[in-house]
Structure 1
Amino acid sequence: MSQWQLAQLNIARAVAPLDDPIMAGFTGQLDAINLLAEQSPGFVWRLQSESGNATDIAYDSDPLLIANMSVWTSLAALRRYVYTGEHLALLKQRKAWFSKHEGPTQVLWWIRAGHIPALSEGQAALEILRLNGSTPLAFTFAQPFSAPKRQTHIEPVGIT
């Protein structure tokens, strides 16, 4: 077993509150997509509240900005989940539910196996990506980095 796992955070700004009928196509698929993730090879963990999803966990002061964060055994496992099957079909519909966002909306970073990242770690990783582009500390699918040879740690920087 590898000593590293891959964490990911993605954010999106909804075009309306999640209980608005325009968002029903998205919210109506959340349980199935979450279950699909949990049953996918390489899945380790996902951010969720008592409701079973992460949409009611505040990312910041914007009530329309939602976050999804998860941990996977490898980049290949996460890529397979994100870019195939039902998740890909949902991804292709995102413009119906989410507005364009300035800056990166997804970030990947390596964590020690067994570590459960706090949302603040994901926020810090996204900020590192925004400031520096893809680096070994925070990167994208388009410019990935291999697991580190030594311990690295994301420190929340300027995130409240």
Structure 2
Amino acid sequence: MKGHHLAELNIGRLLAGVDDPRVAEFIDNIDRINGLGKRMPGFVWMLEGSGGPGATGHAIGGDALLVPNLTVWEDAASLETFVWGTVHKQFYEKRAEWFEVLGKMHFVMWWVPEGHKPTLDEALERLEMLNERGDSPDAFGWDYLKEATMWKTHGCQVAAE
């Protein structure tokens, strides 16, 4: 979308606290994966502490086990390449080892004007819009983006199971 970038919020709830060995592999690789994302072509911005546990100051609803990841990308292709075309894919495929299955949609995308850095509150509002109304120009999932195709062959679920 000309003059806009793609924002995305993904939320997960850890199965255990950050010091628990069951989530150690995830916790130990947050900086590595986030660093890779920041070096990717098309990366624009990341909420500092994104992808980390509530100790980063981004606890949602006071729940330190909820892990938000909020980023902005130039376009859907850049985000797709990072998610499914790098080592990130290996961590995505192992998410069930570290995260609970949430009872509702926990991933949302929307277009933001170039230069805009969304807040976590703004992102949570977009997620609520998606959960209440389904895909719209204001809040959507992968299937809304006609140019996005990698999610179809890489196991991305449209809704939580």
Q: TM-score range by the shorter chain?
A: 0.7 to 0.9
* Residues 64/53 of structure 1: CA separation in 2 closer, same or farther (3 Å cut): closer
* Residues 80/92 of structure 1: CA separation in 2 closer, same or farther (3 Å cut): same
Counterparts of 1:51-66 in structure 2 under 5 Å?
A: 54-55=52-53, 56=56, 57-66=58-67
How far 1:45 moved relative to its partner? Answer: 0.5
Aligned to 1:103: 104
How far 1:114 moved relative to its partner? Answer: 0.1
- Larger relative helix fraction: 2
Paired AA for residue 31 in structure 2: D
Root-mean-square deviation (Å): 1.8
3-state SS of paired residue (1:83): helix
Aligned to 2:32: 32
Counterparts of 1:141-152 in structure 2 under 5 Å?
A: 141-144=142-145
CA contact under 8 A between 1:2 and 1:113: conserved in structure 2?
A: no
- TM-score relative to the length of structure 2: 0.84
* Percent identity of paired positions between Structure 1 and Structure 2: 36
3-state SS of paired residue (2:116): coil
Flag structure 1 segments of 5+ consecutive residues without an equivalent.
Answer: 147-160
Aligned to 1:85: 86
After TM superposition, which residue ranges in structure 1, 4 or more long, deviate above 4 angstroms?
Answer: none
Aligned to 1:43: 43
CA contact under 8 A between 2:26 and 2:98: conserved in structure 1?
A: yes
CA contact under 8 A between 1:12 and 1:99: conserved in structure 2?
A: yes
Aligned to 1:9: 9
Aligned to 1:158: none
Flag structure 2 segments of 5+ consecutive residues without an equivalent.
Answer: 148-161
**1:35-71 deviations in Å (ceiling 9; x for gaps):** 110011100000114xx86432212222211100000
How far 1:119 moved relative to its partner? Answer: 0.4
How many residues in Structure 1 have an aligned counterpart in Structure 2? 144
Paired AA for residue 112 in structure 2: I
